[in-house]
Homo-oligomer: A and B are copies of this chain.
Amino acid sequence: MRSFKMSELRRDPIGGRWVIVNTDHPSRPEDFEHETHSWRGGICPFCYGNEALTPSEIDSIRDPNTSPNTSGWQVRIVPNKFPALQIEGDLDRRGVGIYDMSNGIGAHEILIETPYHNKDISDLTNQEIENIISMLCRRALDLAKDKRFKYIMVFKNYGPAAGASLEHPHTQTIALPMIPKNVMEEIRGAQNYFEYRERCIFCDIIRQEMQEKERIILENKYFLSFCPFVSRFPFEIWIIPKKHSIYFCHMPAEEIPPLASILKDTISRVRSVFTSSPAYNFIIHTSPVNGDGGFEGYHWHIELMPKLTRVAGFEWGSGFYVVSTPPELAAQYLKEQK
């Protein structure tokens, strides 16, 4: 068997999908514990006083008299201790017979959202959420300076069912050396529409949703929160800027407070619709960086998916999703919450 020094990127020659293969510390069969609903025990590396348990911090918003890697921060950025991709090296793409591969170059950072171990976004103040958003933008702008990176993906896993392995609230940023397949598909779809109609498809969706109203949850001066007509999951939600804008990280300062407020209110409503706060993922969909792909017909937005069902064979095989709650009904439940 070949041996590898770091993670590997491999490209499916049929559909063009990339996967990251952990060749460095591979999991053995006994490492796959049964799915659990509880958290790993032990000391939380994201709590005050445990700053030395994470790799050295990259950035933070903190009290003026405190030093990096000590307490006193409000949000804190650290490299992931177990990164999916490594920051060092040059991208080395090559063929292996009919297959394509590359070394696993990229960045994998954690934003620790709050010093409080048990607070999720809906428990934070608007100001605290504004700090999170500002910091995510700042990191994306910084990572985009590295010309090896083509896409900056920001996402959050909340709860074990959504794939989170630590309870302390955090958001992740992964910088990738190629534009991921799902992003590329979304961009191509938007591009086709733009060439045909000379309009942004997301702007047209916003217009239709605001006219029909039945899928809208919340609205403020700059943002809209709604359940998309073609939800893949029950209670799926999009949060989108009303004004056309291709990059999340170029958001004007005046839009940060309304985004913080609609995000907090939307997540609070998800939590109150269900008896116990469901696990969820959210993903920031934005334009690629450094070259190809950044184009005027794209429109950044956040997709939020409460984890209420399991994906089964039919969905994996077909890409067809079966949604048991129509988005019109989901929006009604969410709208009626206080």
Binding site for B on A (CB under 8 A): 1-2, 4, 8, 10-23, 26-32, 34-35, 37, 84, 96-99, 151, 153, 155-157, 160-164, 172, 174, 176, 180-183, 185-186, 189-190, 193, 201, 204-205, 208, 212, 214, 229-232, 234-235, 273-276, 278, 281-285, 303, 305, 308-314, 316-329, 332-333
Contacts and interface: CB of A to CB of B under 8 A. Distances in A.
B230 A273 contact: no
A309 B160 CA distance: 11
B232 A19 contact: yes
Contacts of A156: 313
Chain A interface helix/strand/loop/mixed: mixed
Given A14-B189, A17-B230, A18-B320, 11 more contacts: A13-B193, A17-B320, A19-B230, A19-B322, A29-B235, A29-B274, A98-B204, A155-B316, A182-B318, A281-B312, A281-B313
Contacts of A321: 17, 19-20
8 contacts: A14-B193, A153-B317, A155-B313, A157-B312, A172-B313, A183-B317, A284-B317, A285-B317
A229 B18 CA distance: 11
A317 to B, nearest CB: 3
Given A189-B14, A274-B32, A323 B205 contact: no
Q: How many copies does the complex hold?
A: 2
B190 A14 contact: yes
Nearest to A329: B26
A37 B22 CA distance: 28
B208 A97 contact: yes
Contacts of A329: 1, 26
B155 A314 contact: yes
Nearest to A328: B1
A256 B21 CA distance: 34
Given A176-B318, A317-B155, A310 B14 contact: no
B14 A163 contact: no
B332 A14 contact: no
A103 to B, nearest CB: 14
Contact of A162 (B21, B201, B313): B313
A31 B273 CA distance: 12
